[in-house]
């Protein structure tokens, strides 16, 4: 079976959350590695938005597969390979998914970041 999750995020929403609740918001959603990756970019809010959309898309694909009932966004980590492609790490004992069977794509355009995740079981 193939399961799909998708999400779109207004970049301004994430930017506002960072400005108003920086440490609390970032610490609740993003790992230290993700924060370093995003903070090293010229416009961190764009990259945080993309990673946030990716986490939501992955969560939706996982939930629709029924292999889990819930997962925190911080348990889903989005890092990048040497070419910038997103890689997924999941820190949840209840999930046994081969990383080769879970893929994500992230895009930024104008005021939005969007992501699609595909899970094959």
Tens of pLDDT along 62-111?
999 999 999 999 999 999 999 999 999 998 877 888 878 999 999 999 99
Measured between alpha carbons, how far apart are the two ends of the chain, in Å? 5
Reported CATH class of domain 2-120: alpha beta
Cα 45 from Cα 62, distance rounded (Å): 26
Please state, in angstroms and as integers, the Cα–Cα distance from residue 97 to each residue in 17, 35, 91, following that order: 31, 25, 11
pLDDT digits (tens, 9 = 90+) for 6-43: 999 999 999 999 999 999 999 999 999 999 999 999 99
Question: Domain residue spans in the chain?
Answer: 2-120
């Amino acid at each position: 079976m193939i399961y799909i999750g998708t999400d779109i995020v207004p970049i301004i929403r994430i930017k506002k959350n960072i400005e108003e609740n920086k440490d609390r918001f970032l610490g609740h959603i993003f790992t230290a590695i993700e924060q370093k990756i995003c903070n090293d970019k010229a416009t961190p809010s764009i990259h945080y938005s993309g990673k946030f959309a990716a986490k939501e898309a992955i969560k939706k694909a996982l939930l629709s597969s029924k292999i889990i009932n819930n997962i925190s966004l911080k348990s889903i980590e989005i890092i990048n390979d040497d070419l910038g492609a997103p890689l997924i790490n999941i820190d949840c004992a209840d999930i046994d998914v081969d990383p080769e069977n879970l893929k994500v794509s992230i895009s930024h355009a104008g005021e939005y970041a969007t992501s699609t995740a595909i899970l094959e079981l």
